[in-house]
Structure 1
Amino acid sequence: MSVVIWADGRLHAPTDRILTGVDHGVTVGDGVFETCAVYAGRAFALTRHLRRLARSAEGLGLPAPDDGQVRDAVAAVLGAAGDVGRLRITYTGGPGPLGSHRDAPDAQRPSLVVLAGPATRAPSSRVVRVPWVRNERSAVAGLKTTSYAENVVALAHAYRQGADEAVLANTVGELCEGTGSNVVVERGGELVTPALSSGCLAGITRELLLEWAPAAGIPVRESREGELPYEVLDEVLAGSAHLALTGSIRNVSPVLSLDGRDVQAGALCRAAAELFQARALDDLDP
């Protein structure tokens, strides 16, 4: 299955040259992005993703994306793509200086690239702990930026260990997130996910799980300060707690392997996975 790309007002093939070499998203990672699952030719939770794209752009100091232009580009890509599972929207600072500073606001010409392609969804996940941390006090904490180098390194480490995701602590030793996912701990008869103050991304799947689960009788909440130290993963290994990941392609994915050791999926994690898949298919733009 090929990838379909939209840029500069028209569709492109994957081999087309689209961005200039001085695009600030290329030279210094000055950009933001969103990834949506695609069901039956429609992007899931597109309105929420575009809202977060705008928040990330504002946090990075980029001009606000044109919501109508983005939606038109999404429609063009999905109309031409056929059977795909993933949509990506990338919005960068556009052509700019070779250093980290930007052109004056009235001289900026942001770049928008939208593409659709295949996606593989696995019903479960395999994770490892890594020696690197998230900086919850970073200037870009909680923003979905294209500066993904630390995620590339951490995920490559996970793949070398036979896993498909790495889970990180923050600088004060709290459980934070994965390289491209949020984490949920099943413990004491409830699901608990790190608070945004941990430095984790405000994930759309995480957000919807917090909204949908209570009405279905699944207790879920954000953690209190100090409640989820990184060492809570030892409890997962011991079987007294369980772990799941949430993300736009994973949805809710129970973890069945931690640090190379098999672990059990918790009953609430499994219930949350089933609930999310059913609700997602019931309303594609919740």
Structure 2
Amino acid sequence: MTILWLNGNLLDTENARINPADRGFLLGVGLFETLLVHAGKPVFATDHLARLRQGAARLNIPLAQDDTSLTQAMNAVLSANALTTLERASLRITLTEGPGPRGLASPARQEPTLLISAAPGQTPAPTVTAITTTIRRNEMSGVSDLKTLAYLDQVRARQEAAEAGVDAALFLNTKGKLCCATAANIFLWDSNTLLTPPLSDGCLNGITRQKVISLARAQGMAVFEESITPSTLAGADSAFITNSLIGLQELDGLDGRPMQPHRHTAQLRTALAQAEQQSLT
């Protein structure tokens, strides 16, 4: 039976209860973080908790727990589900505004809901195929850089990808510029130069995205955060996507055409794996 941490208590799924008036459930007012876990230790935990706290401040959702308390809660969930000895597992932290009255206005007295869950992990495939989805990401929304609960566009794009027989979908924004993948950031190789969309084009500032940019520059690779047009995407021979659970996944096909591996991608994957291990100490 799965054990959750909900508002300070460890509960099994049958006894865990979310208030039916919770604004995360009704309106999507909330945030989440997904963390990779190696042998019972969350990877880049400090970075994830910092992003969660920054997002909560942006949305005016109080987050009373300090990082030590949140770390203890994550460890408790991993232990309760016997996941501490697995090579790979995952954690999800979900924070909502909590219950409120009907309507859009935030409640005068906020009682946020904080939920932490964990699950076994699987080794991700080294490569994936993708299409460019017909759905557009709104870079002007004001929250496109936050990891909010509003994931309907991503769900629909993933369905579109499944119907096309591929693994993932890439988003363009409302101006027609490349933005991100369904649940990942995107990088293209232009010869030996690494390109990735800027945050201003509507992508999430992924933790793995940040690490890859830093690691690539530390190894002397040129990295540019710049707008990428569909023609640039169509002309790229090599690309990869990133998130906390998959690390780096190379695209071996995009919109029906083959993509090629790039010699520096494996180098970056190794550097990322080393950085993940260093974050556990």
| TM-score, structure 2 as length reference | 0.92
Equivalent pairs, count: 275
The 1:16/1:123 distance shift into structure 2, 3 A limit, reads: farther
| TM-score, structure 1 as length reference | 0.90
Once the two structures are superposed, the pairs formed by residues 86-235 of structure 1 within 5 Å of their partners are 86-104=90-108, 107-120=109-122, 121-223=124-226, 226=227, 228-235=228-235
Residue 250 of structure 2: aligned partner = 254
1:77 CA displacement: 0.9
CA separation in 1, counterparts of 2:69 and 2:20? 24
1:173 CA displacement: 1.3
SS of 2:14 mapped into structure 1? coil
Residue 35 of structure 1: aligned partner = 34
The 1:28/1:192 distance shift into structure 2, 3 A limit, reads: same
Deviations 1:204-243 (A, max 9, x none): 00101111222223332322xx4x113322113xxxx311
What is the aligned counterpart of 2:269 among 266, 273, 277? Answer: 273
CA separation in 2, counterparts of 1:215 and 1:36? 24
CA separation in 2, counterparts of 1:281 and 1:260? 36
CA separation in 2, counterparts of 1:230 and 1:97? 44
1:177 CA displacement: 0.5
Q: Which residue identity does 2:145 align to in structure 1?
A: G
Q: Which residue identity does 1:76 align to in structure 2?
A: A
Deviations 1:169-223 (A, max 9, x none): 1111111111210000101321111111111001000101111222223332322
Deviations 1:242-274 (A, max 9, x none): 110010011111111212433212222232222
**Contact kept? 2:32, 2:93, Cα under 8 Å:** yes
**Contact kept? 1:36, 1:87, Cα under 8 Å:** yes
Residue 72 of structure 1: aligned partner = 72
CA separation in 1, counterparts of 2:199 and 2:224? 12
**Contact kept? 1:25, 1:93, Cα under 8 Å:** yes
CA separation in 2, counterparts of 1:63 and 1:95? 13
Q: Which residue identity does 2:94 align to in structure 1?
A: T
Query: Quick check: 271-280 or 41-50, which moved more?
Result: 271-280
CA separation in 2, counterparts of 1:3 and 1:219? 45
Matched, 1:18 2:26: no
**Contact kept? 1:24, 1:98, Cα under 8 Å:** no
1:38 CA displacement: 0.5
1:65 CA displacement: 4.6
CA-based RMSD of the aligned residues comes to: 1.7
Moved over 4 A (4+): none
CA separation in 2, counterparts of 1:231 and 1:118? 40
SS of 1:101 mapped into structure 2? coil
SS of 2:205 mapped into structure 1? coil
CA separation in 2, counterparts of 1:60 and 1:9? 22
Q: Which residue identity does 2:95 align to in structure 1?
A: Y
**Contact kept? 1:185, 1:193, Cα under 8 Å:** yes
CA separation in 2, counterparts of 1:58 and 1:135? 22
CA separation in 2, counterparts of 1:267 and 1:190? 12
**Contact kept? 1:65, 1:91, Cα under 8 Å:** no
SS of 1:130 mapped into structure 2? strand
CA separation in 2, counterparts of 1:187 and 1:148? 31
Q: Which residue identity does 1:162 align to in structure 2?
A: G
SS of 1:186 mapped into structure 2? strand
1:278 CA displacement: 2.7
CA separation in 2, counterparts of 1:161 and 1:272? 30
**Contact kept? 2:40, 2:75, Cα under 8 Å:** no
Q: Which residue identity does 1:69 align to in structure 2?
A: S
Stretches of structure 1 that go unaligned for 5 or more consecutive residues are none
1:127 CA displacement: 1.3
CA separation in 2, counterparts of 1:101 and 1:118? 38
